[in-house]
Each structure stands twice: as structure tokens, then as C-alpha cells.
Structure 1
Amino acid sequence: MTEENKEMPQDISRRKFLRNTGYTVGGLAVGGILGSLIPWRKDDKTNNPPPPHEENFNQALMYFTPEQFKIAEAVTERIFPKDDNGPGAKELGVAFFIDHQLAGDWGFNARDYMQPPFYRGEKVQGYQGRLKRRDIFDIGLREIDNHSMQTFKKTFIELSGEEQDKILQDFEGDKVNVTTISPSGFFQMLRSATLEGVYSDPLYGGNRNMDGWKMRNYPGSQMAYADVIEKDFTKIKPQSLQSHMNH
């Protein structure tokens, strides 16, 4: 046995070590995985490792800065707050959904016609400008914080729920002096993205644990109803696209 093998703890087999290191990216262990590579000390008081913790790697930032994410999380929670019916946007991971969308085609307006000339369109025509959605969110979230400081001398996440509602109502009513974007247009985009995050498939980052669907008794992405269509049923346990991909 080589000196290197002698140094390898016996409670980690070489196969297990190689399998676990397969979860590293660019030499950096993805959050939570590094702990599984290190054996628990033999002199631990219980002599037992803690229970396994299932990491949700879909809950990771792809576009937002941590500061932007905190504002987006607080804003979406006011738009879709937690109540007696179930969790709010924060628990449902809606800010992660929006973050992932901004990092992809939606954030780049990849499927929209974005060539000039640019004219102010009617409200029923939707957005008609040159800025990409990711640019609009960058500006909008910054201006939400700026308006909070101007109005209450606090950042948005430091405000009470009622004060946060006042800031958002000012955006909705175009009562904010912003020249680069339409405040009401940004609010409507933010509201739509929030609801999409609440009810989208969990594969896309929101609707955590399918709780958004459960509040509506929505069955989700069922492959077929052949086994229940002739039965007297009112509810079906929801399924996500991710569950089908795992089979």
C-alpha cells in the first residue's frame, strides 16, 4: 500500500470518492457536496453523521446579484404574499424563477422583434422599446431602492410591508420620476413574472414543492389520465416535468 493510500480514510472508498468528485465544477465543489467528501470524525459525540440533506441545485443565481435578488424576493412577496391559503412568492422561490428567465432567452428578448424604428405603442400592444428585459429589471430594481430611500430613507428590504406596498403603488401609478423605463410597464412585467413563477413547473426554479399548484388543486404535468379518467376523482397528486425526466 502506498503512502497516499494510507492517508486516505478507510470510511471513504475510492469509488465513492470518484463518484462524489464528479459533482465538482471547475475544481470547485458545488454547495453542500464538499461535506460529503470529508469523513465525520471518529471522536464525534454521537459517532453518527447528521441526516442527509437534499440540495436543490435549481435554487442558484444565474443573473441577479445577491443585492438584486433580495429586492426581487421582497417585491414578489408583496405581490404574492403568504397567507392562510399557502406560501408566498418567497417560499415558492419566485425570485429564482425570474432570475433564471432573465439569464435565458426571455431576458435577452431573443424571440421578440427588436429592430428600429421604436415608437411608443398602445398599452394593449405591450412593450415596444429597445431595452432588453434584463436591462429593464436592472434599472427597475435599482429605481425601487432609490425611490425607497427618497421616500422613507430606507432601502426597500428595510421597509415595512405597508411601506413596500406604497413604493410599488407609486410604480404602478407612474408616480415615480424615471425616464429610462416606464414605471408602470416595469411593474406589470414584474407582476406577470411573479405569477408565472408561482404557477410554472418547478423545473424552472419557482413553484417550489409544487405548492403553487397544490393551492389550486392543479394536477401539473400529467403524462396521461387513462388510469383515473373513469374513476370518481376530484384531485390528483401533481407531477412536474422533472419527475418525468427522472424516470
Structure 2
Amino acid sequence: MSTPTSPTRRRVLSTAAWLAASSIPGVAFARSISGALPWDANSAAPPPKLQLNGWFFFTSAEVETVTAIVDRLIPADALSPSGAECGVVVYIDRQMIGPFGRSSRLYTQGPFFLGTPRQGWQSPDTPAQRWRAGVAALERWVAANRTGRRFAALAAEEKDAVLKDVEAGKIDLGAGVDAKAFFALVLQNTMEGFFADPAYGGNKDMASWRMLGFPGARYDYRDHVDKHGQRYPLPPVSITGRPEWAGKVD
């Protein structure tokens, strides 16, 4: 363990890299001489501003089902509002029309084989296709096995029982829908919508961050790093900043 006066490996490597760079002819070190900040607030390619009203992927019937699902995975309690109240359904809806929903950054060509859990989902189906097929299959199963009702109409205990059986793969959703894989996708996206930055449509009012005491995208909280076991006293900040900061640069 190094002392404050002894060189650390990081310091030695940093010094060596600087010396190497400074010995190369023609290397220039940039510096600002304008007397002004070299950047503009919110200029670092922030996420596009989302339209929070309306639905872009889910139908109204699907919204009802997805809302019922996420509200059982994250029910309202003394710690936070429910998943839907926190914007989780909005988050998932917007993700399905974006690069994630289209699998635009994944290789989705064959051949396709049943992979191991480490290999992830092995299928040409995109997350958007899996959500649509999974919700429809779930509703067909519920209608056939719960006296024609829809999932949202079930009692809370019935919803929990159905979701537990889907998670365990005890329910045959048919139509090429893997129940366990569908539940895993639902749970993954629900957690993302609850804990992700509000810029993406979920975590409304930073409810989950406030629950955890997470500072969000604050640029500096060094004064609190060593205060272990103490709740962070300042409100969290989104990557888009706080509304009251609009037009201000400190």
C-alpha cells in the first residue's frame, strides 16, 4: 500500500505516458485562451427529448396488460409509487421503437440453436417482436384458463401466481413463446425503466433514485464519499440536468 509521498503505479504510468508524448515532435497540448468556457451546457449529445404523451409501440390493450404486469413486479408501497406510476411502461414503449427494440446493434442472422444462459437469447426475433408475441400469448392463456378474463382483470394474488408460473416456465404460452425467456425480458426492461435516468421515460421524478439515496449524474460529490452509512443529503440529478438550471451556466 503506497504512502502519500511514494509514487503509485497509476502515477508512474501517467508520468511515463506524458514524457513519451512530450518527446514527440509536433505534439501540441491544447489550452483555452478565449477566457470563456470551451463548451455549452447540454451540448454533449444528450438523449433526444422524449414525447411523454401517447403510445408509439403498444396498443391500448397491450398498455393495459403491461401496466398490470409492471405494477405487480413493482407494486406501490411506502418506498415508492408503482412501476407504471414511475413511467416504466412509457420507458418500455419507447425502447421498443428504438435501437434496442429493433436489435439494431445485435447480430441476428442464423444459424439459430438453443444456447446456454451465457449465450443469451438465440433467435431472429427482436425484443419488440418478443414483447408483442409474449403479451398476446399471455392473454390467450389467461382467457383460456381464467374463465375468459384478461390479465389486468385478475385479482392481485392471481396475477402474482400467473407471473410466478411464467417465470418458472410452468405455463405453456404456445405460439413459439418461451415463457421463461419472456419473463426474463419483461423483468429486465421493468428494472431498467424503474432505475434508468428519467431522460429515457421511466423513473419519473427520480423516484427510485430518491428511494436509494442515489445522487444521479451529479458532477461532484467528493465531500460525501467518506461519509459511509449516511444518506446523501442532496436531490438526484438527471443527465439532462435539473429544470431550474435551464439557461444557467455556473
Q: TM-score, normalised by structure 1?
A: 0.72
Offset at residue 59 of structure 1 (A) = 4.1
Match of 1:205 among 201, 205, 219: 201
**Retained in 2: the 8 A contact 1:147–1:167?**
no
Match of 2:191 among 190, 195, 200: 195
Offset at residue 57 of structure 1 (A) = 4.0
- Residue matched to 2:238: 240
In angstroms, what is the RMSD of aligned CA positions? 2.0
Counterpart AA for 2:106: D
Offset at residue 90 of structure 1 (A) = 1.5
Figure out how many residues of one structure are paired with residues of the other and give that number: 191
**Retained in 2: the 8 A contact 1:59–1:93?**
no
What CA deviation, in whole Å up to 9, does each residue of 1:126-176 have, x standing for no partner? 101111110000011111111111121210111111111122122112122
Secondary structure of the residue that 1:117 maps to in structure 2? Answer: coil
**Retained in 2: the 8 A contact 1:172–1:183?**
yes
- Residue matched to 2:54: 60
- Residue matched to 2:138: 144
Q: Does 1:104 align with 2:68?
A: no
- Find the aligned partners of 1:121 and 1:230 in 2 and give their Cα distance: 42
Match of 2:75 among 53, 74, 81: 81
Once the two structures are overlaid, the 10-residue window that deviates more, 190-199 or 141-150, is: 141-150
Offset at residue 198 of structure 1 (A) = 0.5
Structure 2 unmatched ranges of 5 or more = 1-49
- Residue matched to 1:16: none
Match of 2:124 among 127, 130, 136: 130
Once the two structures are overlaid, the 10-residue window that deviates more, 138-147 or 234-243, is: 234-243
What CA deviation, in whole Å up to 9, does each residue of 1:46-102 have, x standing for no partner? xxxxxxxxxx94243121111111111110111111112121101101011000000
Change (3 A) 1:120 1:205: same
Once the two structures are overlaid, the 10-residue window that deviates more, 60-69 or 208-217, is: 60-69
**Retained in 2: the 8 A contact 1:59–1:205?**
no
Q: Does 1:168 align with 2:170?
A: no
Once the two structures are overlaid, the 10-residue window that deviates more, 162-171 or 235-244, is: 235-244
User: How many percent of aligned residue pairs carry the same amino acid?
Assistant: 28
Secondary structure of the residue that 1:150 maps to in structure 2? Answer: helix
Structure 1 unmatched ranges of 5 or more = 1-55
Secondary structure of the residue that 2:215 maps to in structure 1? Answer: coil
Offset at residue 123 of structure 1 (A) = 1.8
Once the two structures are overlaid, the 10-residue window that deviates more, 124-133 or 57-66, is: 57-66
Change (3 A) 1:231 1:163: closer
Offset at residue 238 of structure 1 (A) = 0.3
- Residue matched to 2:84: 90
Offset at residue 242 of structure 1 (A) = 2.4
- Find the aligned partners of 2:55 and 2:200 in 1 and give their Cα distance: 12
- Find the aligned partners of 2:104 and 2:202 in 1 and give their Cα distance: 22
Counterpart AA for 1:120: L
